[in-house]
Amino acid sequence: MICPARNPSGTRLTKSLTEEVMTDNHYDTIIVGAGIAGLTATTYLARSGRKVLLIEKNRECGGLVNTFTRNGFHFDAGVRALLDAGIIFPMLKDLGIHLEVVKSQVSPGIGNEIMHFENPESLSEYSDLLKKFYPESDGEIDEVIGIIRKVIRHIDVLYGIENSFFKDLKQDRGFIFKKLLPWLPRFIMTIRKINGMNAPVKDYLKSIIKDNSLRDMITQHFFKNTPSFFALGYFSLYLEYFYPRGGVGRLTVQC
């Protein structure tokens, strides 16, 4: 594994060294890019006995999951917090990696008014905040909050069980029969329901909210083409954000 694919002085690997790597060694897999995806793939392939070459063009691994330190302060270069989504914690457990984390609270605000997403009831507080600034749209706000509540119920199903990828299904029969199989029909029904919510969130909300400013306020957290289900589902996922002590880059350093 080469990571980074530059020598310590920061210059690119020389052609001869690259050629040597490519010709004198046999690799089962070559992965280009040591972001979280490349690091994860490399770790699992290497663990299963494959010989893997991981190539990164930057001096540091991690890609968007990266933290640098200046004068004792940590700065996150890309991602600002992490979401388990039934994957990160089971994966870390599976790899025997301990990551010290703290809760990362999401606190949206309008003007000087700020609220905190602390529990499922915080959605009502968010609704009150929107209504305070857009009283003439209170019916539309109720409708959107109703849709968000429905999406949250779907999210609860999607992430309702531990990710089976990290389970030893041959050994853990209890998980298959008591959790996975009963969950599958609910999962399939939920997937059908959310397929109708693939339109970009801004377009989706246009059919419900007339006021452009209110629409911008609700969608400001997302890229404008984020699918509606994914975007509105964030109001549930906000409660699960966590932050590794020392910066998000601790995750990739540990890999």
Ligand X SMILES: Cc1cc2nc3c(=O)[nH]c(=O)nc-3n(C[C@H](O)[C@H](O)[C@H](O)COP(=O)(O)OP(=O)(O)OC[C@H]3O[C@@H](n4cnc5c(N)ncnc54)[C@H](O)[C@@H]3O)c2cc1C
- The set of residues, in sequence order, having a beta carbon less than 8 Å from that of 44 and lying 6+ positions away, is none
| Stretch in the footprint of ligand X (CB under 6 A) among 80-88, 90-98, 120-128, 230-238 | 80-88
Q: Looking at 29-37, 127-135, 154-162, 204-212, which segment touches ligand X (CB under 6 A)?
A: 29-37
Q: Which positions ≥6 away from 224 have C-beta within 8 Å?
A: 200, 201, 202
Cα atoms found within 13 Å of the Cα of residue 218, Cβ hemisphere only:
33
Shortest distance in whole angstroms from residue 195 CB to ligand X: 22
The pair of three-digit structure tokens given for residue 219, joined into one six-digit string: 């969608």
Residue 183 or 241 having the CB closest to ligand X: 241
Stretch of 27-35, 106-114, 118-126, 195-203 contacting ligand X, by CB under 6 A = 27-35
- Which of residues 82 and 151 has its CB atom nearest to ligand X in the complex? 82
Cβ neighbours for 136, distance < 8 A, ≥ 6 positions apart? 211
DSSP secondary structure code for residue 35 in this structure: B
Residue nearer to ligand X on the CB measure, 41 or 115? 41
* Pairing verdict, β 29-32 and 52-55: parallel
Nearer to ligand X, 56 or 140 (CB): 56
Tell me the residue ranges of DSSP E strands in 93-139: 101-103, 109-110, 113-114
In whole angstroms, how close is the CB of 222 to ligand X at the nearest point?
A: 10
- The tokens for 27 are 């690799």
Residue type, 170: K
Name which position in 53, 79, 130, 141 contacts ligand X (CB under 6 A).
79
Give the dihedral sign, CA 116/117/119/123: positive
Chain positions 33 to 62 lying near ligand X, rule: CB under 6 A, are 33-38, 55-58
Nearer to ligand X, 53 or 205 (CB): 53
Q: Residue 40 CB, nearest distance to ligand X (Å)?
A: 8
Nearer to ligand X, 57 or 178 (CB): 57
By CB under 6 A, name the binding residues for ligand X: 32-38, 55-58, 63-65, 78-83
